[in-house]
Amino acid sequence: MSLLVVGSVALDDVETPFGRREGALGGAAVYFGIAASYFVDVRVVGVVGADFPQEHLDLLVSRGLDLSGLIVAPGRTFRWGGRYGYDLNARDTLYTELNVFADFDPEIPAEFRETEHVFLANIAPALQLKVLDQVAAPETASLDTMNYWIERTPKDLREVLGRVQIVLINDYETREIAGEPNLRKAARTILGWGPRLLVVKKGEHGAVTFGPNGAFAVPGLPLETIIDPTGAGDAFAGGFLGCIASTGDTSPEGLRRATIYGSAMGSFCCESFSIDRLASLEPAEIEDRFRSFRDLTQFDHRPLLVDV
Ligand code: AMP
């Protein structure tokens, strides 16, 4: 099984209360692809500039990512700068230098056009539609987006929402897209537009998956070490869709499992700057983390007040 991701490949300058990193390997397609690579073969479509370090390319290849769709264009790589305070759920974007990403026009290589699962990371909805036009009826198409597109291109966004089965966004985005402050009602509105599943990521507060069988919620794992949450949402998506692509299981049980693997990959992402931790995991560590989520959340109902 293969999973295609189309999105940003970046150099990030990140500052958190625990340190700073310049020119670090980042971008939505990178975090997503590395997280998913533990579960399935991953194909990347994106663009970098001539300044993109070879060591970053080597790292991606070492994780088994197929980079045939990653163009190296003349110019500079997309660069993003962000700063976090002690509330790691809130960050300031210091700058977004699109550079070669400004002219990104995704061309899906012929050998990628039949990929079974497609993830449209956070890019212009018009480009997400262009990707969908180039792939042959994938089993699942999924997307992420951000406030910039929700506010500037709502019509395109509605169109692409009608063509994907899975949406993975954060709680603010869910409320903003639906124009509805109540999360459950907002989810119902978005699911009414076509997608079968909506996964709402809530940073350190976990995630909720809404689907035809109701909602499944998982809390955030209280981590010992949190260094940098950049990319955690994309790593979540990589674990979630990697699990679904690997098992093909979208039953209620399968979705719960995918939500936990997604949460596990998101949690690892926060434990270091860039992809340092995410890219160097042993499969047993991922399974251990899955068990930690189970231990954190498992409980039985033994009625105390009245026998029901
Ligand atoms: P997240 O923390 O999940 O929002 O992902 C952060 C990653 O997204 C960083 O590595 C950035 O390089 C990348 N990023 C930030 N802004 C954008 C944007 N406007 N378009 C695409 N990728 C972005």
In this structure, the residue with its CA closest to atom 9 of ligand 1 is 27
Report pLDDT for 88: 86
Is 266's C-beta closer than 6 angstroms to any atom of ligand 1? no
* Residue 62 pLDDT: 98
**Which pLDDT value is given to residue 258?**
98
- What pLDDT score was predicted for residue 89? 83
Domain ranges across the chain: 2-296
Please report the pLDDT score of residue 18 as a whole number. 92
**Per-residue pLDDT at 51:** 98
Contact 93/81 with Cβ under 8 angstroms? yes
Query: pLDDT over 70 for what percent of the chain?
Result: 100
Contact 117, 64 (CB under 8 A): no
Pocket test for ligand 1, best of 45, 119, 234, 270 (most atoms within 8 A of CB): 234
pLDDT for 308: 83
Q: Is the dihedral of CA 286, 288, 290, 292 positive or negative?
A: negative
Superfamily of domain 2-296: Ribokinase (3.40.1190.20)
Atom nearest to 31 CA in ligand 1:
10
Active site residue 51: no
Residue nearest to atom 7 of ligand 1 (CA): 27
Determine if ligand 1 sits within 6 Å of the CB of residue 8.
yes
Q: Which residues of the chain have pLDDT under 70?
A: none
